[in-house]
Amino acid sequence: MRRTAIALMTSCLLAVTACSTSGPPTPSQAPTEADVVAWTDKVCGAVDGTVKALSDEPAIDMTDEARLKAGLADWLGTRSAAAGRSIEDLKALEDGPHPKARELVTAAEDGLGQVKALLDDTSSKLDSSSDATGVVSAFTEMVTKSAEMENAGVRVQRKFDETGLADAARQAGNCQSLRTSASSAPPS
C-alpha cells in the first residue's frame, strides 16, 4: 500500500513538474520581416487617419457670416482632433520591432504635430475674427501654408528610406492606401 501511495505521489509530482514553467527561459524571438511589415502598416494607418480627414474641403456658406465661421471652425476642430488621435496612436508604436522604429515614429509625430499646430493656430485666428473678412483671411492664410503640411509629409516619406523601412512600407496595405490618399488629395 505504501509503495502505491509513493508511486501515485511520484507520478503526480512528475505531472505537475512537466506542466510548470520553471524551466530555463525561452529566448525572445528576433522580429521577423512580417512583424516589421505589420508594425509599419500600423504606423501608416495612424498617419492615414489624418490624411483622410484633411482630404475633403470644408462646406463654406458665404451667404451667412455666422454659418461660415461655424462651418470652418467645425472643419478645423475635426481635423485637429484627427491629428491628435494619430499622434496618440503613433506614441503606442514608438517601440516597434525595427531598430529605427522610434526614429520613424518621431518623424511622423513631428509632422502631424506641425499639421495640428497649423490647424489650431488657424482655429484661434478664426475665433478672434469679428467678420467674414477675418474668417476668410484666417482660412486663406492656412491654405497658403499648405506647403508646410506637404513638406512634413515629404520628410516622413524620406524617413522611411533613411530608416531602411521603405521595403516594409511597400508591402504594408495602409502605406499603399496612404500613398493613394496623398496623391489624390485636392489641389490647394
Q: What is the pLDDT of residue 93?
A: 96
How many whole angstroms from its chain centre is CA 96?
13
Q: What is the CA radius of gyration of the chain?
A: 26
The string of pLDDT tens digits covering residues 162-177 is 999 999 999 999 998 8
pTM across the whole model: 0.77
C-alpha cell at 59: 462646406
pLDDT, tens only, 27-84 = 457 789 999 999 999 999 999 989 888 888 887 778 888 888 889 999 999 999 999 9
**What pLDDT score does 112 carry?**
94
Is a pLDDT exceeding 80 seen at residue 161?
yes
Between CA 140 and CA 185 the distance in angstroms is 18
What is the percent of the chain where pLDDT is above 90? 49
Q: Which three cell numbers stand for residue 55?
A: 482630404
Decide: 37 and 176 in contact? Cβ < 8 Å: no
